[in-house]
Homo-oligomer: A and B are copies of this chain.
C-alpha cells in the first residue's frame, strides 16, 4: 500500500493548481478539503477526486478564477452565485457569509447556485463548528437514488451534514448520504467482483440487485425516509438557491467535462451563545458523547458521529494517506511533486 505524506501531498496539489492558473483563494480550499477528507478516511471524497478536478478545471467545467457574488442578502440570509467555482471554495465562502450573519443576528442561512462538486459536506460544517457554531451543510447532486415507490432515480445522494462543538476534541460531525451506501462503494465492489449487500442498489429497471456490474441506482436510506430527506436537500440547495434540481443536474463523471453542472449548496450556522453558554453546551455534548461511547456494545465499540473519522485521522496523520490505483497512477502522472510526497 502506497502512502503519501500529508504536507508534501498538499504542496504537490497546491503547485499543480497554481500551474493550472487556479486563484489562491480557490486552491487553498480545494487542497485543505481534500487533505482533511482523506485524513479522516472518507476516501470517496478525498484526494481520489483530485485527478478528476484537474481535468474538470482544464475543460472549464470548473472556473478556477471565479468572481463570487451575493445576488441576494439580508441580515440572516444570502444567496451566492459561485460562478462555477470549485465547490470547496464556494462552500467555505458561503459558510463564512453564514458565520458573519450568525455573529450579528444569531443565525446565518446561505444558499449557493452555479457551483460544482464541493467534496465532503463536513469541510464547511467543521469550519463553523470549530468556531463555536452549530452548523448544517447540504448539497444536491445528479439523480442516482431510486425514488421511493418508483423504478427510476430522481434525487442524488444529497447529503445531510450536521456539526456541533464539543469540549476537548474536534466537533461531533454527522455527514451522511441520504442513500443506503455511496456510489463509490458500488464501484469498489465492481472492481473487486464481490457481490453487493441486499438493499444497497437496483438494476436499470429498478429491481433490487446484488450484482455490482448491474447496479444502476442506489436505494434511499430507510426507504421513503431517505427519499424524503433527499427531496428536502434539493428544496434547500436547488429551489431556494434558484438553481437546477433532481434530474435537471448533469452527472458528475459521464457528462462532458466542458459542460457546467450548476450544483447548489445550503449552509446554516447557529450561534450557540444566543441559546445557552457555549462552554456549558460543549461540555454537555462531550458528556453525552462519552456516555454513548461507554454503553454496552453489541459487537465493536459504540461511537458517536465523527468518531471513526477522528480515529482514522490520528492514524493517517502519522502513517500517511494510503492511495491505490488507479488514483495512485493518475496522481504520479501529474508531476514529480507527487512522487516526492510518497512515504519511503
Contact = CB atoms under 8 A, between A and B. Distances in A.
A147 B292 CA distance: 8
A176 B160 CA distance: 15
A305 B228 contact: yes
- Report which residue of A109, A224, A302 has the largest number of chain B beta carbons within 10 angstroms of its beta carbon: A109
- Report which residue of A242, A245, A298 has the largest number of chain B beta carbons within 10 angstroms of its beta carbon: A298
Nearest to A306: B228
Contacts of A225: 176, 221-222, 226
Q: Copies of this chain, how many?
A: 2
A181 B242 CA distance: 35
Contacts of A79: 275-276
A228 to B, nearest CB: 4
Interface string A74-109: 111101000000000000000000000000111111
Interface stretch (A1-9, A41-49, A149-157, A316-324): A149-157
A285 B235 contact: yes
A148 B301 CA distance: 10
A249 interface: no
Q: How large is the interface on A (under 10, 10 to 19, 20 to 34, 35 or more residues)?
A: 35 or more
Contact of A76 (B106, B152, B246, B302): B106
Contacts of A281: 239-240
Interface of A, secondary structure class, is mixed
A241 B275 CA distance: 7
Interface in A87-143: 104-109, 111, 134
Contacts of A111: 275
Given A79-B275, A231-B174, A276-B240, A298 B104 contact: no
16 contacts: A72-B275, A74-B106, A75-B76, A105-B105, A105-B107, A106-B109, A134-B236, A147-B295, A149-B298, A150-B295, A151-B296, A152-B296, A206-B298, A221-B225, A240-B276, A242-B275
Given A72-B275, A77-B270, A222-B225, 15 more contacts: A77-B107, A107-B109, A111-B275, A134-B235, A134-B240, A149-B302, A150-B302, A151-B295, A151-B296, A152-B295, A174-B231, A176-B225, A176-B229, A246-B288, A268-B268
